[in-house]
Amino acid sequence: MKINRPLSSHLTIYKPQLTSTSSIIHRISGAFLAIMVLFSILLCKIGDFSPTFYQIYCYVFFITSHFHWLILSLVNFTLLALRYHMSNGVRHSLWDPGSFLELSKVYTSGIFMLFCAACLVVLNMI
């Protein structure tokens, strides 16, 4: 006998909540920041192999003149991920000693964390 029901809880059953969404985005932003750190280390190592300053200058000029929109987007997205990850990290640090663990305070701190991250991003644009 085959029953058409899920075997376990799945993402399609539950509607997204602030707590689960912020947790998932926190993990994604942390992984993205780790990849960006590794990528920047790789770029620094590639820069060591260039024999002359002129070749580095030509390479950087080509990249910045043709792909300036990509570089600016990547930098802004990295700063957005950093601001969000930092704000949510402060929230998690407040949870460690046992503060703000009631459900109403968790949602309030989540909304406040999103507001702080948005303010930091706006301050970055000024």
Q: Which residues are CB-contacts of 50 (< 8 A; sequence separation ≥ 6)? A: 56, 59
Instruction: Please say whether the beta carbons of 83 and 121 come within 8 A.
Output: yes
pLDDT of residue 102 exceeding 90: yes
More confident residue, 113 or 41: 113
In order of their start, the domains of the chain are: 19-125 (1.20.1300.10)
Q: Which residues are annotated as a binding site?
A: 85
Q: Which residue has the tokens 């030509």?
A: 58
pLDDT tens profile 17-69? 899 899 999 999 999 999 999 988 887 777 666 556 777 778 778 888 888 88
> Could you tell me which residues are annotated as the binding site for heme?
85
Query: Confidence class of residue 108 from pLDDT cuts 50, 70 and 90?
Result: very high
Q: How far apart are alpha carbons 73 and 81 in whole angstroms?
A: 12
In Å, how far from its chain's centre is CA 45? 24
